[in-house]
């Protein structure tokens, strides 16, 4: 009887030892797994077509929902006038909320652009409001996140601040128009002027200064947008213009031209950048 009891205790001890050994092993695996996953991010991505040469106002289907943390709507415009957005309908509601939007209502646009949205938004889609031209778009998304707020927001959507690394200058006589000798570096680029100065070789009179965007480098085409100011007999000899300028359409009016009717010759200097994808 004693021998049977000892065998049973021995069996119990062995069972407990095995159980604790298994528990320790599982704990070690859990620790190892935790360490291996530390710092990992999701790499799942997805791409779907959204619009193809869309020439009417419409909304897309709801985009796939896999818990994405970063969404990008890439789109290509052809003489497009209107808006395109990323809009979201919160669960339990029926009214979409516009989260990102690009506006091309001022003039027609032809180019390649993107809207980026950080955060998780189920029921996400895109809506086009069109008055002219057409637009094509694709939706891409990734499981890891991106910045929830763009570095900068403008009329045409999100964009990073511009660094102007090019310079140009031109002399414009007292009653003429002259090219600023700056043009897009590559087809489809948008020209941005960060800074501009005007200096005169004599006293000015009652007249006007201006900057306009034209369709030809010779400043002979139609013009739009820009900057204007009056001159008088007391206008300073040196003017610093604190307003940045950009072409309203990289396809239709990409060239900046200076207008001078002040009565004195003017030396116009600018710093600018030619940027793709705006």
Say whether pLDDT at 253 is over 60.
yes
| 28-46 b/e (C-beta count within 10 Å ≥ 16 → b) | eeeeeeeeeeeeeeeeeee
Q: What is the signed CA dihedral for 202, 206, 212, 217, rounded to 10 degrees?
A: -50
Range with the poorest average pLDDT among 109-113, 162-166, 187-191, 235-239? 187-191
d(CA 82, CA 105): 5
Q: What is the percent of the chain with per-residue pLDDT over 70, rounded to a whole number? A: 79
Tell me how many degrees the CA angle 210-216-219 measures, rounded to the nearest 5.
35
In angstroms, the CA 104 to CA 85 distance is 11
Least confident segment among 25-34, 123-132, 145-154, 159-168 = 25-34
Please state, in angstroms and rounded to a whole number, the distance separating the CA atoms of residues 267 and 169.
7
Residue among 164, 162, 187 at smallest CA distance from 272: 164
- For the 45-158 domain, the top CATH level (class) is mainly beta
Strand pairing of 166-172 and 266-276? antiparallel
Instruction: Determine contact, residues 239/197, Cβ cutoff 8 Å.
Output: yes
Question: Does residue 36 carry a pLDDT above 80?
Answer: no
Beta-bridged to residue 221, according to DSSP, are none
Q: How far apart are CA 62 and CA 184, in angstroms?
A: 37
Question: Which DSSP letter does residue 25 get?
Answer: H
Q: What is the CATH code of the structural domain delimited by 166-276?
A: 2.60.120
Q: Please write the tens of the pLDDT for every residue from 163-220.
A: 899 999 999 998 888 888 788 887 777 889 999 999 999 999 999 999 988 888 888 7
CA distance 204 to 181: 24
Residues forming CATH 2.60.120.380 domain(s) in the chain: 45-158
């Amino acid at each position: 009887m004693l021998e049977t009891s000892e065998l049973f205790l021995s069996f119990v001890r062995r069972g407990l030892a095995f159980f604790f050994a298994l528990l320790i092993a599982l704990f070690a695996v859990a620790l190892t797994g935790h360490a291996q996953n530390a710092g990992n991010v999701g790499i799942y991505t997805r791409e779907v077509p959204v619009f193809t040469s869309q020439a009417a106002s419409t909304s897309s289907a709801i985009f796939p929902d896999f818990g994405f943390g970063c969404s990008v709507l890439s789109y290509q415009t052809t003489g497009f006038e209107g808006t395109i957005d990323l809009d979201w309908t919160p669960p339990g509601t029926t009214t979409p909320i516009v989260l990102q939007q690009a506006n091309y209502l001022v003039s027609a646009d032809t180019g390649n652009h993107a809207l980026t949205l950080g955060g998780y938004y189920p029921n996400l889609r895109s809506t086009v409001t069109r008055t002219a031209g057409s637009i094509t778009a694709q939706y891409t998304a990734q499981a890891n996140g991106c910045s929830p707020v763009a570095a900068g927001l403008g009329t045409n959507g999100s964009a990073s601040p511009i660094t102007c690394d090019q310079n140009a200058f031109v002399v414009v006589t007292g009653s003429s128009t002259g090219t600023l000798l700056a043009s897009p570096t590559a087809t489809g680029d948008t020209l941005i002027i960060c800074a501009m100065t005007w200096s005169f070789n004599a006293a000015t009179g009652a007249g006007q200064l201006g900057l306009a965007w034209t369709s030809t480098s010779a400043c002979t085409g139609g013009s739009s947008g820009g900057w204007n100011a009056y001159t008088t007999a007391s206008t300073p000899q040196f003017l610093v213009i604190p307003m940045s300028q950009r072409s309203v359409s990289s396809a239709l009016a990409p060239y900046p031209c200076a207008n001078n009717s002040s009565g004195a010759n003017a030396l116009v200097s600018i710093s600018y950048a030619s940027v793709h994808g705006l």
